[in-house]
Amino acid sequence: MFVLLLPAGKFNKKSKINSKLNIRNSKLQEMKIYTKTGDKGYTSLIGGTRVPKHHLRIESYGTVDELNSYIGLIRDQGIASHDQQVLKEIQDRLFTIGSSLASDPERSKMIIPDLHEADIELLEKEMDLMNEQLPELRHFILPGGNNAISFCHIARCVCRRAERLSVHLAEESTVDAKVNVYLNRLSDYLFTLARKIGNEQKVPENQWIPRV
């Protein structure tokens, strides 16, 4: 569920932040887990537009939510603390992406958190640092090795699905171009993270050797 935040208006920076925090706290106090408004198979986008739950925009941000859950599962596998911190940052960015995808671009006047180029650059930087520690990749790698590695590959596949849905949505509606770039980089990051975890935990890579 992506619940945002506050209507656009003319505030100075300090009052905007205070208003956002007050509204957020108020919403959290008042929000009920069940609303019954979706019982007939429809839900609301940010902006109020009612759409069926199989709508492409719902599929898009729902898949990002699924991806975020798998990222949390990877964080819980006892991996390096630095990687846990980066994954926490990624989870935050995925909520930003979900909020963007959950908004009706024609009607929403809510202030939505921004995705920045620096968020994409962080993934690239992390991949470059990890690759410095890894042997050269000479084969395709089959998923598996241990739980942490396997969860990275599952998250990578879900990320690719989220990207495909978002690209499809971008052909029909407005999607921030940085969303698709971020998801594209993130799947590569998760692949690299799987290799790093295996290398650190001395798990041999499960190489695919084609039968010829």
Half-sphere exposure of 203 (CA within 13 A, CB side): 20
Per-residue pLDDT for 160 more than 90? yes
d(CA 176, CA 60): 13
Per-residue pLDDT for 23 more than 70? no
Question: What residues contact residue 41 under an 8 Å CB cut-off, 6+ apart?
Answer: 52, 53
State how beta strands 50-52 and 42-44 pair: antiparallel
Q: Check the CA dihedral 93-96-101-102 and report its sign.
A: positive
3-state secondary structure at position 44? strand
Tokens read off for 132: 């410095």
Higher pLDDT, 91 or 15: 91
Q: Are 144 and 41 in contact (CB under 8 A)?
A: no
d(CA 5, CA 76): 29
d(CA 20, CA 26): 10
Per-residue pLDDT for 144 more than 50? yes
- Confidence band of 7 (pLDDT split at 50, 70, 90): very low
Tokens read off for 151: 């969860």
3-state secondary structure at position 141? strand
- 161-199 per-position pLDDT tens digit: 999 999 999 999 999 999 999 999 999 999 999 999 999
Tokens read off for 59: 């599929």
